[in-house]
């Protein structure tokens, strides 16, 4: 099967999908281990350990670097894209999650005072630096393993 992956013109896309899938499966396994229950949202949701965003873009950049060389313009584009996604996963989206958490507390206060009832906002949007680093390492390893 490895020969098929390496000979396929879609192998980089396949590597990206593998990295995302492995990261999402690890989230589920860690969640089951930690909470002693299964939650399908761990597989399809955002946030959690490891970052599937980081794994996917790191696998992509690594595969492109292996296939085209780290001095190629395509690798430079992939690397820049990966840096933006990693920054967003750890920074902007995490800040949005913290804001959602605060707004949910405000809504709780308002609800208990019987003023307004609103839907809760999703709080787990971004990743901690450790989750991003773990996802990045996972993506690089998968990119190196599946690239020729």
Query: Mean pLDDT over residues 9-17, rounded?
Result: 81
Rounded CA separation 65/59 (Å): 10
CB 24 within 8 A of CB 43: yes
120 pLDDT band, cuts 50/70/90, is: low
Q: What is the pLDDT of residues 32-85, one digit of tens each?
A: 888 888 777 766 776 777 888 889 999 999 999 988 889 999 999 999 999 988
- In the prediction, which pLDDT does 56 show? 92
Full residue range of the structural domain in which residue 63 is found: 2-146
- In the prediction, which pLDDT does 89 show? 76
Query: Mean pLDDT over residues 8-29, rounded?
Result: 84
7 pLDDT band, cuts 50/70/90, is: very low
- In the prediction, which pLDDT does 147 show? 77
- Higher local confidence (pLDDT), 112 or 26: 26
Rounded CA separation 85/57 (Å): 7
Mean pLDDT of the chain: 77
Q: What is the dihedral of CA 83, 89, 94, 95, to 10 degrees?
A: 50
**pTM over cut 0.85:** no
Q: What percent of the chain has pLDDT over 70?
A: 69
| 8-state DSSP, 108 | H
Q: How many domains does the chain have?
A: 1
- In the prediction, which pLDDT does 49 show? 77
């Amino acid at each position: 099967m490895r020969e098929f992956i390496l000979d396929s013109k879609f192998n980089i896309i396949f590597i990206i999908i593998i990295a995302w899938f492995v990261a999402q499966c690890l989230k589920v396994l860690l969640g089951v281990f930690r909470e002693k229950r299964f939650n399908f949202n761990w597989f399809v949701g955002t946030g959690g350990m490891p970052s599937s965003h980081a794994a996917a873009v790191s696998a992509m950049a690594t595969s492109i670097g292996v296939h085209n060389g780290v001095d190629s313009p395509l690798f430079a584009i992939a690397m820049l894209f990966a840096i933006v996604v990693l920054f967003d996963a750890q920074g902007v989206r995490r800040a949005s999650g913290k804001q959602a958490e605060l707004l949910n507390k405000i809504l709780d206060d308002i609800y208990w005072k019987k003023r307004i009832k609103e839907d809760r906002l999703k709080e787990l949007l971004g990743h901690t630096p450790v989750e991003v680093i773990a996802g990045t390492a996972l993506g690089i390893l998968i990119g190196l393993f599946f690239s020729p």
